[in-house]
Structure 1
Amino acid sequence: MTNRVKLVTVLSLLTALLLGHFTASYSQQRHKVSNLSKKFDLVIDVQTQDEHRVSGKFSIYRKGAKRPFQIIRHNETDRRLSEDNPIFVSVSEKQNGKWSSVYFEDFNFDGNEDLAIADGSNGGYRGTSYRIYLFDRSGRFVFSPSLTRLAQGPYIGIPEPDRKMRTLEVFWKSGAGFQQVERYKVIKNRPRKIYEYSKDSMAGDGNAYITTKKWVNGRWRVWNKTVKDENQ
């Protein structure tokens, strides 16, 4: 084999490898979501950047419209969106162990559906984290930093709205020995903590120390209780 033939062969192999890498690194998926909202449809265009990162373009349509009225782009989103058939469910399915990459939910209890979009794995235990966008008077979804904080670590998953009590509930834990539940009222589109329940059994003395806090008349009321740790 001449040097020229060898060079052509090597270049051909390198080209094939680069093209294969490019195709694998930039594979694309499109998902149409119409089951989450009564008012809106969503078209998600996902691009796999590398083995660790997936980006997404989220085009929001009013039901029956042919053109989106708003487009939101995330440099990073849920890797599950790179799969062929990701599930799209409501927040209530979180109790059944089913998590969605996007949610339409009224997070500020103003009667309008808001939008939560996964922005990677920044939640507790490297779980899915979200950015929350509130539907405002201008008819667009506007990013809410304060509510988004409740959908990032250390909290696990999306905040769960209680429509009757008009509160948001979040949960986080540290190993098997500590867990905490928090509830928030949303006042002028900002969350304010009104309840906290924690259970701490990390002392290793066979006990679990329970602390309950409630915001009452402008101040915190605190109750402490010690119980036998059922896990020991």
Structure 2
Amino acid sequence: MNCNKFLMISVLLGELCSAQNYFELSNVSQNFNVVVNVEACFENKCSGKTTVDLYDKNTMKKYQTFFSNDFYLDLNENQKPKFDSLKNSVVFDDFNFDGAEDIAIRNGNSKYENPFYEVYLNDAAKQQLILNDELTNLVRSNSGMFKADAERRRIVTYLKEGCCWNLTSEYIFVPERELLKVLEFEEDTRDPEKVKTVKREFIDYKWFAKTTIYPRERYFKENENTERN
């Protein structure tokens, strides 16, 4: 990183630029500048215990500090964080669709060896980002970070086992109840000649399931045409 630039900002913020393990992440959030201090950097990556500091872009004051025991960043040839790696290590989005920016911070891997995140929701009353156990556990039990579908106001998770079985699940936020699962789509391609799908939907307080068997060649051809369109 540009230590001189960081030093100028650090003086304003009351911080010190002391090592190349400090990185300023200024383009990952609408409201915050982010400074991470990673425990160890070797060659083209940084990992280990990390502090993540958020600074309000308007006031330049520190807003909040987070801790990760197992953070990770890929570096480019200039020893700066790669943008794709950056987006995958500190994720900003409106996860509960209330209009406020939330954050997910990488902290190791889930049991399926996918990146694990701790998810914090913006609490307007407390003016803090608060750890949300339900969304954090959702990451832990699936294959990586979920997707926040703002248009449909749904949280979408993906679970993959081996090469040939996938499960997509969708959740909505219910007032005073948090998350409610409303859809599952299971795709099983283990059979060499056919594909089995099961769609389960929660409608009017009941689950309805539809199982469909496709010839393998037809299924993948239809999916390919759908993706192109």
TM-score by length of 2: 0.75
| Paired residues, number | 195
Letter in 2 for 1:225: T
Whole-angstrom CA distance in 2 between matches of 1:151 and 1:185: 15
Which is greater in Rg? Answer: 1
Confirm or deny: 8 A CA contact 1:28 1:46 kept in the other structure. Answer: no
Letter in 2 for 1:42: V
Query: 1:5 maps to which residue?
Result: none
Matched, 1:31 2:23: yes
Name the SS for the 2:144 alignment partner.
coil
Matched, 1:195 2:183: yes
Letter in 1 for 2:26: S
Whole-angstrom CA distance in 1 between matches of 2:130 and 2:62: 16
Structure 1: stretches of 5+ with no match in the other structure: 1-26, 90-96
Confirm or deny: 8 A CA contact 1:80 1:101 kept in the other structure. Answer: no
Report the CA distance between 1:54 and its aligned residue: 0.8
Confirm or deny: 8 A CA contact 2:110 2:144 kept in the other structure. Answer: no
- Structure 1: 4+ residue segments shifted above 4 A: 49-53
Name the SS for the 2:137 alignment partner.
helix
Confirm or deny: 8 A CA contact 2:169 2:185 kept in the other structure. Answer: yes
What is the root-mean-square deviation of aligned Cα atoms in Å? 2.8
Name the SS for the 1:69 alignment partner.
strand
User: What is the CA deviation profile of residues 62-99 of structure 1, one whole-angstrom value per residue up to 9, with x for unaligned ones?
Assistant: 1143431211111222253799322345xxxxxxx995
Among candidates 98, 123, 127, match of residue 114 of structure 2: 127
Mapping 1:169-180, distance limit 5 Å: 169-180=156-167
Query: 2:96 maps to which residue?
Result: 108
Query: 1:220 maps to which residue?
Result: 207
Q: Mean Cα displacement is larger for which, 79-88 or 185-194? A: 79-88
Whole-angstrom CA distance in 1 between matches of 2:122 and 2:132: 10
